[in-house]
Amino acid sequence: MIKPLSRGSIAINSTSIVDNPLIDCGALTDPTDIELVLSLFLKNRQIMAQPSMQALGPTEISPGLESQIQSTDQHI
C-alpha cells in the first residue's frame, strides 16, 4: 500500500513545548484499505503456492495455512 486512503491526525494536547503531541496514525480506518490489504495477502498466498516458489520452501507462519481468510467481494 503505497498511498492508503486512511488518514490519521496530530493534535496538540498541552501548552507546554516539552509535552508530546497526540498522534493517531489512523491505520486501516478506510474500508477500501482493509480490502486492499486482504487482496494483497491473498495474492501473496497465490504466488507462494506456485511450484517454482514451493521449491524454495516458503512457510506461512501467521495466520497459517489452516486459516481460511477470504475476501467478501472479490479475489485477485
pLDDT tens across 15-67, in order? 999 999 999 999 999 999 999 999 998 999 999 999 999 999 888 887 776 67
Question: Does residue 74 carry a pLDDT above 70?
Answer: no
Check residue 8 and give its pLDDT.
Answer: 96
Hey, is 2 helix, strand or coil? coil
Exposed e or buried b for every residue in 30-39, given b needs 16+ CB within 10 A?
eeebeebebe
pTM, entire model:
0.66
Q: Is the per-residue pLDDT at 72 higher than 60?
A: no
Which pLDDT score is estimated for 62?
Answer: 79
pLDDT at 59: 85
